[in-house]
Amino acid sequence: MNSTPIDFFPIVIQFFVAAGFVGITMFATHFIGPKLNTRKKLKPFESGVQSVGNARQPFAIKYFLTAILFVLFDVEVIFLYPYAVNFLELGMSGLITMLLFMGLLLCGLIYVIRSGALDWE
Amino acid sequence: MNVVIALTITGILNLFGSIFSYRKITPLLSIIGLTTAIVFNSMYWNTNQSFFNHMMVVDNYAVAFGTVCMVLAACLIIFYNRFMGDNDHHLPEVLSVIVLSVDGAIVMVSYTNLLMLFLGVEILSISFYILAGLKKKDLGSNEAAIKYFLMGAFSTGFLLLGITLIYGATASFDLSVISEYVKLNSTSTNYLLLSGVLLILVGLLFKVAAAPFHFWTPDVYQGAPTIITAFFATVGKIASFGAFYRLFQMCFSPIVNEWSGVIMVVAIITMFIGNITALQQKNLKRMFAYSSIAHAGYMLLALLSHDYLGGNAILFYSIAYGISSMSAFIIIHIIQTQTGTDEAMGFAGLVHKNKTLAMITAISMLSLSGIPLTAGFFGKFYLFSSAIESGYVLLVCLAVINSFIGIYYYFKPVIESYFKDSITDDVIKLKSVETILLIFLSIATILLGIFPGLVPAI
């Protein structure tokens, strides 16, 4: 508990090392490497696929809804990992708590499906 | 804890109202749920039980504030159903959000752990952001929602950082551990702790809409649907003050000299900005937004009192302010739907249109301005006397001056409704439930003004 500011000095060193590494590598590659700029090289990299059109386009709100629902239920899965690790220690009370948690989320899922948020057409 | 469970189940049942087609009975369902929760809550009186590994303690303070919040929410749901029920496509969802936000209010007044404070604040606030934007097609409502959301999220950041620093200083989120630590170290200056206190202060002052953190209030209160504004001004403010007073009384009272200066300055600025700006407002919703800022200034005085007198004062003031504010906003809504304007001239000749409504307007305005024989008078009396006993005479003098300023604008609607001629002679007809509830609120105002002992000491 008792720590003086000097105990945090390694963190400062670590910070400078990290920042220095980034800075040095960026400048070094800039100066050392050969520069051959071609039209294709300067294009935005899109997983190796030829890029098509402009990225700033309006798209249907349905994608957004699907994405946000995905995030919601994806985050829920994260809570299952620590529970799986501690499954035996938590015992019956842990199971009930977890079932309650999943049950509440299931209510949300039922609401989402029944209210037609996932209907594409 | 039964209250939280009852409210959550009610909220979820309401949510399913529209998809399993029982939306007609959802208002009834929420009233039953809230009543059950109130009954459960009152059973905790004098028990001091601790819940969830000492995350919440339901003492008399929590029971009193929780009951006030739930009763006001129940009134609001009845009015919401009456006014919006037939036109509102999303009635079950709205009721669900309202009931769940009361859940947040309950957590906010009974926490004994800073994490629960944060959770409660978030549950309440996120519901409020949704409620502010209920009128999807209305530009003002959209503006209110986005403004409230952005600024609220920002202020929550301050609250969180404050909690972090306090954890850094005391190595605990638990209020009892923090209060022990503060007691032991009250003589030496601990800058980590003090910066934490200051940042929490900023976060909570935003939530209660005290100047200079009040800029969201007028826009949000004006833009949101009027009934929802009533909810913000009553339940939101009362729960925030419940949380505020609980934290500072339980934990930081040994170092009161360190933060009392901040509260004093903020209280003075808040009272003057609220009252003086309210004088110039033509729009009634905006005027009442500034008036609610001014009331936050008065209520800050209770934080400065050294003993539990402050708790009683803030409870009584909350009840008085909540009741009168609720009826004032409900009347504005009625006038707004009738005449199409939410400005003071909409009240012109109200006495010829509906005598009861004019009388209820007068009573609630008298109570808000603090005239004797109404609850507002005793609310102010308790607040000011608790501050005087702690030695803040100058502050109370300024507060009294501000009460006088307040009388000017509170009487605007009263003068309009009694002494001006109306443009149209349409009679305003109310359904019997609305009239009974409004009369009930006025009777409560007068009853508390004559027998202030009806509110039990906590």
Which of A1, A104, A111 is opposite residue B19, by nearest beta carbon? A111
pLDDT of the residue at B24: 86
pLDDT of residue B351: 87
pLDDT of residue B434: 86
Q: Give the distance from residue B44's alpha carbon to the nearest chain A alpha carbon, in angstroms.
A: 24
CA distance B232 to chain A (A): 26
Map tokens 């039922």 to a residue.
A110
> How far B220 CA lies from chain A's nearest CA (Å)?
26
Which CATH number fits the domain that encloses residue A48?
A: 1.20.58
CA of B16, closest CA in chain A: separation in Å?
A: 7
Residue A119 falls inside a structural domain: no
Assign B58 to helix, strand or coil: strand
Residue of chain B nearest A109, judged by CA positions: B16
- Nearest CB among B19, B20, B171 relative to A1 is that of B171
Residue A11 lies in a domain: yes
In the three-class reduction of DSSP (H, G, I as helix; E, B as strand; rest coil), residue B49 is classed as: strand
Domain, as residue range, for B319 = 2-454
* Alpha carbon distance B84, B99 (integer Å): 17
For chain A, list residues whose CB is within 8 angstroms of any CB belonging to chain B: 1, 104, 107, 110-111, 114-115
Distance of CA B186 to the CA centre of its chain: 32
| Alpha-carbon separation of residue B291 from B278, B321, B390, B406 (angstroms) | 6, 11, 26, 8
Closest CA relative to residue B184, chosen from B117, B253, B234, B254: B254
- Which residues of chain B are within 8 Å of residue A115 when distances are taken between CB atoms? 18-19
**Cα–Cα distance, B344 to B283 (Å, whole number):** 7
A-B CB pairs within 8 A amount to 14
User: Could you give the number of structural domains in chain B?
Assistant: 1
B9, B19, B103, B123: best to mutate for the A interface, most A CBs within 10 A: B19
- Give me the pLDDT at residue A2, please: 64
pLDDT, tens only, A84-115: 999 899 889 999 999 999 998 899 899 988 88
Mutate to test the interface with B, among A111, A114, A118, A119 (most CBs of B within 10 A): A111
Q: Looking at the 3D structure of chain A, how many domains does it have?
A: 1
Q: A111–B15: do the CB atoms touch at under 8 Å?
A: yes
Set of chain A residues whose Cβ sits within 8 Å of the Cβ of B19: 110-111, 114-115
pLDDT of residue A13: 93
ipTM of the complex: 0.78
Q: Residue B16: which of A1, A104, A111 has the nearest Cβ?
A: A111
Question: What is the Cα–Cα distance from B16 to B14, expressed in whole angstroms?
Answer: 5
Burial of A23 (0-12, 13-18, 19+ CB in 10 A): exposed
> Coil, strand or helix: which one is B135?
coil
What are A98's strand-pairing partners? none
Q: Which of A107, A109, A113, A118 to mutate: most B Cβ within 10 Å?
A: A107
Contacting residues of B for A114, CB less than 8 Å apart: 19-20
Q: How many CA atoms lie within 13 A of A19 on its CB side?
A: 6
Q: What is the pLDDT of residue A31?
A: 85
The C-alpha atoms of residue B205 and residue B263 are separated, in whole angstroms, by 9
What does pTM read for this prediction? 0.89
Question: B322 near B367, Cβ under 8 Å?
Answer: no
Spatial distance between the Cα atoms of A7 and B111, rounded to a whole number of angstroms: 35
In which domain, by residue range, is A102 found?
5-114
How far does the CA of residue A75 sit from the closest CA of chain B (Å)? 18
The answer to whether A114 contacts B20, with C-beta atoms less than 8 Å apart, is yes
User: Which structure tokens are listed for B364?
Assistant: 């609630």
- Alpha-carbon Rg for chain B in angstroms: 21
CB B377 within 8 A of CB B262: no
User: Least CB-CB distance to A115: which of B12, B19, B171?
Assistant: B19
Q: A115 to chain B, minimum CA–CA distance in Å?
A: 6
Q: Exposed, middle or buried, A47 (CB in 10 Å: 0-12/13-18/19+)?
A: exposed
Mean pLDDT of each 10-residue bin along chain B, 458 residues long:
92 90 89 95 91 91 95 92 76 93 95 95 95 90 95 94 94 93 87 93 94 93 93 95 93 89 94 94 93 94 83 93 94 87 84 90 94 92 91 93 93 90 78 89 94 86
Helix (H, G, I), strand (E, B) or coil at B264: helix
Let me know: does B383 contact B322? Beta carbons within 8 Å: no
Range list of H helices, B171-207:
175-184, 191-207
What DSSP character marks residue B50? Answer: E
- List chain B residues with CB under 8 Å of A107: 12, 15-16
Return the H-helix or E-strand segment holding B56: strand B56-58
How far apart CA B204 and CA B210 sit, in angstroms, is 9
**Residue A120 lies inside a defined structural domain of this protein:** no
Interface of B with A (CB under 8 A): 12, 15-16, 18-20, 171
Residue contact A107–B12, C-beta within 8 A = yes
A1, A104, A114: residue with CB nearest B19: A114
Closest-CA distance, A110 to chain B, in angstroms, reads 9
A97 min Cα distance to partner chain B (Å): 12
Per-residue burial over B322-348, b if 16 or more Cβ lie within 10 Å, else e, is bbbbbbbbbbbbbbbebbeebbbbbbb
Distance CA B60, CA B169 (A): 30
Q: B108: which 2 tokens?
A: 């906010």
If one counts every other C-beta atom within 10 angstroms of the C-beta of residue A59, the result is: 7
pLDDT in tens, A73-83: 888 888 889 99
Cβ pair B406, B398 in contact under 8 A: no
Lookup result for tokens 């059109």:
A53
A121 domain residue, yes or no? no
Chain B CB contacts of A104 below 8 Å: 12
Q: Which residues of A touch B89 (CB under 8 A)?
A: none
